Structure 1
């Protein structure tokens, strides 16, 4: 990637990711019911977990704009995306098995396939990796 374009691209992708996580976090807090319905049964205290995950999403979104915390925000949001994958799978399986959730496979299949991109995007936005997959040479 052109070195002059890289910082601008990272900034734009960072802002988009922060907006997405910020909005998702607000929805977790304001309207937890849809998230509770897709929470796997093995998750203890699901209501508290949904509220905590909403706060984590908002904190991660804010921290992406704070240079001192950016690297950690990117890494933690990537880990978060991995951890919520079972809920996304359950959401898709509920639709396949019961037709519940109000979204079709046109939503679920791309959403499941896009999760690794979200992991990469979080790492890139936080500066943990460079474009497209190269590991950064120094700890930030």
Structure 2
């Protein structure tokens, strides 16, 4: 399916955001992102942050450059946002500060409401939702 100019602009913005976020996982925000890894996860927090950063950069680059699989990448990115959501919930429930701005229960709670926005953004801007709906006709 062909996407609109507006969808492409938002897709590029999301891809650049993902590449930046992934890079920050591996460098200057590495410790901050560890606060989002739930304590109940039986894996090294640092390993989770490194691997999720690599996945974010890969998804961002794929969303930016891999045109033939764009809808599939949109679904993969939406799934990634679903999979990291328990970490955001754990950060809220445990009251862990991060990034300077996430320093109150209110800020951490408000952040939770942005995850569905990111999911919708990935599905809409990549044309994934449109492609799925078209396939059902």
Cα distance in 2 for partners of 1:89, 1:48 equals 20
Aligned pair partner of 1:8 in 5, 9, 33? 5
Partner of 2:70: 70
Q: So what's the TM-score if we normalise by structure 1? A: 0.80
Say whether 1:94 aligns with 2:94.
Answer: yes
- Provide the residue aligned with 2:31 in structure 1: 33
What are structure 1's unaligned runs of at least 5 residues?
Answer: 1-5
C-alpha distance in structure 1 between counterparts of 2:77 and 2:105, whole Å = 25
In the other structure, the counterpart of 1:80 is 80
CA contact 1:64–1:125 (8 Å) conserved in 2? no
Shift of 1:85: 0.7
Of 18, 22, 33, which aligns to 1:21?
18
| TM-score for the superposition, normalised by structure 2 | 0.81
Structure number with the bigger relative contact order (C-alpha 8 A, sep ≥ 6) is 2
**Offset at residue 106 of structure 1 (A):** 4.5
